[in-house]
Amino acid sequence: MTLTRREFTRLSALGIAASVAPSLPAQSSSTKTGYAIIGLGRIADHFMAGILNTSNSRVAALVSGHRDKAERIAAQYGVPSESIYSYEKFDEIAKNKDVQAVYVALPNSMHAEYTIRAAKAGKHVLCEKPMSTSVADAEAMIAACKAANVKLMIAYRCHYEPTNLKAVQLIRSGAIGQVQAIESAFGFPIAAGEWRLNKNLSGGGPLVDVGIYALNACRYLTGEEPAHISAFASVIDHDGRFNTVEENVSWTMKFPSGIVASCNTTYGALMGGYFRVHGPKGWVAADPAFNYDGNRLLASFDGKQLDEPNPARDPYQFTAQADHFSHCIQYGLEPKTPGEEGLRDMRYIAEIYRSAGLTLG
C-alpha cells in the first residue's frame, strides 16, 4: 500500500516532525558520505544527531513536504538551500553530486517507493525498519538496488549496539551451554491518533513496529532461522484505536536445533523491550535490550553474575549505523544488515500474521 504525499504532509503537521534542535555547526568534507534525509520526523532527528558524531558522514540534503521546517533544519546542519527537495521533485536528487546515500525515515508504506526512486537516482539506501509493508515490496527494493548497483542497508541498530553484541558473544562462546529457550517482548500503550494505528500507513500493528525487535533478536541470538511459527492475535481494548490493526500478538518459533522462542508484543500495555536466553549452564539477558540508550546486560553462568549497564547515551546507536554504512560505501563492502536481512523478517512477519488469522499490509 502507498501513502500519498498529502496524507504524509497532514501527518507531519500533526506532530510527527522532530522538534527543532539547537543550531549546530555546518559539516563539510569531501571524504564524508553525504546523506539526503527523506522525511524529517522523530527518528530522522535521532539519525541526524548521530551523524554529527561520525568522522565519515554528513547531512547533505533534506526531503520534506514542509519547506519552512526543512529550511530551519538545513540551517542547523549546514545544508544549502538548493539541496532541499519536495517529494514531488525528489528525483532531481540524481543531479546532486554531494549526495551519495539516502536515509529513508518515512511511514512504512512509503519505504518501497522512495528506496526504489533513490536507487534509480543512483544513491545508496539506508532504510528504516520494517523494510516495507509486504514481501513483494521488499523483494522489489532489493531488485531495484541491485539493478542500479547501489547498496541497501536496513536500519537494525541493535546489530551495532554493544549490549546486544556482548550477549551474542557470550552465547557463541558457550558460556551458558547449548541454548534451550528464549523469551522476548516489546510493547507500549499507544495513544489514539498515531499514524501507526492506520494499517494503510503502517502495514500492521505492534508486530511490525516493535515486535520486530523480538523477532530479529531471536534470529541473531540463535544464529538460526525459524523452522516453524505459531501465533495468536487479539484486541482487548475496543476503544477505536484498533479498528485496522491488532493490539496484541504472541508467537512461538521453533528453530532447527530445537530451540524454542516465545515472543510477545502489544500496543495495549507497558512491556519493556527485553530478551532472556536459557541454557544448561546459566542464562543471558538484556533488560532493556532495544532502547535508544540505557540498555543493560544481565547474566548468570559458572558462578558469575553479570550486571553491565551501557552508559552510552542517545544517539550513539545512530552514529554506529551511519558510520558502518558510510564505511561500506567508501570501501565497497556489504552492509552487516543488507536488504536480504529485512526481507527475511518481512517473510516471518507475514507468516506470523497468517498463523494468527491476519494479513500483512
Instruction: Provide the 3-class DSSP secondary structure of residue 31.
Output: coil
Give the model's pLDDT for residue 308. 98
Give the model's pLDDT for residue 31. 87
Q: Given 3-state DSSP classes, what are the helix, strand and coil percentages for the chain, each rounded to the nearest 5?
A: 40, 25, 40
Residues 296 and 167: beta-carbon distance below 8 Å: no
Model confidence at 12: pLDDT above 90: no
pLDDT confidence bin for 30, thresholds 50/70/90 = low
**Region 304-320: what's the mean pLDDT?**
98
Q: What is the tens place of the pLDDT at every residue in 107-124?
A: 999 999 999 999 999 999
pTM of the model: 0.92
Identify the burial level of 28 via C-beta atoms within 10 angstroms of its C-beta, where 0-12 means exposed, 13-18 middle and 19 or more buried.
Answer: exposed
Give the whole-angstrom CA distance, residue 81 versus residue 67: 10
Identify the burial level of 68 via C-beta atoms within 10 angstroms of its C-beta, where 0-12 means exposed, 13-18 middle and 19 or more buried.
Answer: exposed
CATH 3.30.360.10 location in the chain: 162-309
Q: What is the tens place of the pLDDT at every residue in 129-169?
A: 999 999 999 999 999 999 999 999 999 999 999 999 999 99
pLDDT confidence bin for 10, thresholds 50/70/90 = very low
Q: Which of 32, 69, 129, 151 is catalytic?
A: 129
Gap between the terminal Cα atoms of the chain? 7
Give the model's pLDDT for residue 304. 96
CATH of domain 5-158+317-338: 3.40.50.720
Q: Which of 35, 77, 156, 213 is catalytic?
A: 213
Does the domain formed by 162-309 have CATH 3.30.360.10? Answer: yes
Q: What is the tens place of the pLDDT at every residue in 73-96?
A: 999 999 999 999 999 999 999 999
Residues 77 and 26: beta-carbon distance below 8 Å: yes
Grid coordinates representing 144 are: 531495484
Active site residue 156: no
CATH 3.40.50.720 location in the chain: 5-158+317-338
Model confidence at 6: pLDDT above 50: no
User: 172 or 5: whose pLDDT is higher?
Assistant: 172
Active site residue 129: yes
Residues 360 and 349: beta-carbon distance below 8 Å: yes
**Region 255-283: what's the mean pLDDT?**
98
